[in-house]
Every structure is written in C-alpha cells, then in structure tokens.
Chain A
Amino acid sequence: MGTMVTMSEDRRAEGQSDQSPWDMASGAFIAWRAGDASAVDELVAAMTPVLWHVVRAYGHDRQSAEDVIQATWLGFVRLHQTIEDPQAVASWLITSARRGAAAHARTARRAAPVEDETLHAVLPDAESAEAIAQRDDEAARLWGAVASVDERCRKLLRVVAFMDRPDYQSLSQELDMPVGSIGPTRARCLAKVRSALMGGGAR
C-alpha cells in the first residue's frame, strides 16, 4: 500500500488490486509524462470510477454524471501540464470533478428548479438496494443507514469517502459550510450512520 511506485515496471508487476486508485493514478500519470503513451489509459481506468462516486454525490442523474466526468477528463488533457505535483493528480481530478459537478448543479437548478425531495429520491437506488440486500445483509443494513441520514450528510460522506486527501478548504466552498465545521460535521454524520445502524430499522 504505502510503497512508492514510480517505475512503470513496478506499476505493472504489482497486483494492481493491492494499490489504492490514488496510488495507481499517480504511478500511471508519472509514467505517461515520462513518455509511456498507454499509461494514460490506466490513469483513466483507475480514476473514472472514483470520479463517478464524487459526481454522483452531488445528486446528478447518471447521464449528467457522465457528462461532468467527460468534461473533467477533457479539462485534464488541456491542463495536465499545470499539475505541478504528479502525486497530486488524483486530488486534482477529484477537485476538478467536484467543481464541475457543483457548477452543473447550479445551471441545472437555474434551468429547472428541483425540489429537495426529488433530489432525495434520486440518490438511493431503492431497486438495486433490495436486489442486493438478499445477497449481502450487512452491506444492505449499511446502505439503509446511509439512505436514512439527511442529504447534506450523505453528500459530504460520499465525497470524503472517495477523496484521497480531503481538502476541506475547497470542500467548504462547494458544500457551503465553514471550513472549521467540516471535520466535526463529518464526525456527526458518521455518528448518525452508526446510530441508524444500531437502531436497526434504518428506514
């Protein structure tokens, strides 16, 4: 996990599943910059699922989420030269996706005001939840608990869960929370999930 992987041989030799997507991303990015043209595919493969969760946390439907992710990658192609620290490529992508998601949410809201309740209904995918519930009771309980907490908490937790190094400064602007309150809010939201789990009746 914590080992630095910079050479592309190492990157390939290593069982990739052992590595976090963020480590895989920086390894691939470094290799790509060093001239390994195919490494960018690995970078995209490692980070696209992470970006999916980050963007979906903002309540976008699946098609909009895909649009935001594509815009993020196109921006990356245009601006990757400005990324000074290759180790930070994952953070750069996540930040860019979050900004895109937040901006998309603002324009979408201007175009068609969406009631909070509608957004609420969009997030937990009740159908697949039930389908999978039968297979994995523990995960289902957790999913139910997450679904029961408020939208703000769910969004914060989902973004933070998929962030490499949570950057509270920029998060605070997008989530419209003071910087100092994100840590405590995160803890409070996790506590809510826990108590929903204990309560059993998650919904």
Chain B
Amino acid sequence: MTTDDDAALLEELRAVWTTYDPPPPGLTQTMIAAVAAADLDAEWEMLVLVRDSAHEPLAQVRGLATARMLWFTAAEGWSMEAEVDGDQVRGQVLDLDGDMGTVEVTVETADGRSWTTGVDEVGFFAITAEPTGSVRFTVRIGPTSSSSRWVEL
C-alpha cells in the first residue's frame, strides 16, 4: 500500500471518529470561558508600565537622552524602576515584602534572547544585555512571575 492510500484511509478514519465520538456539545464554549478567565488572571498579575521617559521630553533636556527610564507597577502592590542605557539595564524592585533572595529579573528581546539576574538585599539589579528593538521585563518571585508588555526602545 502506498503512503497516499494510508493518508486517505487516515483521513476517512478521522471522519469516522468525528462522527462516532464527537466532543460533548458545550465543550468548546466551556474551554473558551476557561481560557478567558485564566487569561484575565494572567493579565491581573502583569507588570504595568506606568511611566516612560520617552514620553517626558523634560528628562531628555536634563541630559538623560541616552538612558530610557521605565516605571512599572504590579497588581500585588510592588513596583519596579528600570533604566536602559546602551547595553546596561539597571533598576530596582521596590516595596516588595519578603525574601529578595528568591527574586529574579529577566530582560527579554523580541527575537528570543533573554538575560536573567538576581537582585540584592534592597532590590537593586544590573544586567549587561543587548536590549534592542522591543524588550519585555519579567520579575519572578519564587513560583510566581509577572511580565510586562513589550516595550519599544
């Protein structure tokens, strides 16, 4: 038997299973609702960009033209400042209760590269990276993580 015949038979079998053991009537709707609910939870945890130096011309006048400052807040109440200056990404995680030893900050570029570091006891971090194009920050605190949206540099 040729592989074409096999493919044709498999296709017929697919039709047979579709006919004889179809998914329960509401299954797709149930899953759409589950994804919508989970997705909302995920957004709730996101790091929200609240201030961006690119939108503040005054900062450039003051000589910060090469550095980009970004301020994020997380729903849990803590926040993060990040400064992107050439290949240096520095910042601080603020107002976070708990063990700084479990906190990790990741900078990710849209082409799939990422750099991760821990923070010191007051939340400072410094990463040497190649942040170009769009970047995204993820802060991992123990088992939970919060990611920002992509920020165009």
Query: Which of A's residues lie within 8 Å of B, judged by CB?
Result: 40-41, 44-45, 48-49, 52-53, 56, 62, 66, 69-70, 73-74, 76-78, 81, 84, 124-125, 128-129, 132, 136, 139, 142-143, 146, 157-158, 160-162, 186-187, 190-191, 193-194
Contact = CB atoms under 8 A, between A and B. Distances in A.
A92 to B, nearest CB: 15
Question: Chain A at the B interface: mostly helix, strand, loop or mixed?
Answer: helix
Nearest to A84: B112
B9 interface: yes
15 contacts: A41-B32, A48-B23, A52-B27, A53-B21, A66-B27, A70-B30, A74-B38, A77-B39, A77-B42, A132-B19, A139-B19, A139-B20, A146-B16, A160-B10, A190-B6
B6 A187 contact: yes
A69 B31 contact: yes
Nearest to A147: B20
B1 interface: yes
A124 B17 CA distance: 10
B63 interface: no
Contacts of A162: 14, 17
B66 interface: no
A191 B15 CA distance: 18
A69 B31 CA distance: 8
B24 interface: yes
Nearest to A77: B38
Interface string B112-133: 1000000000000000000000
Given A53-B17, A132-B20, A139-B15, A194 B1 contact: yes
A161 B20 contact: no
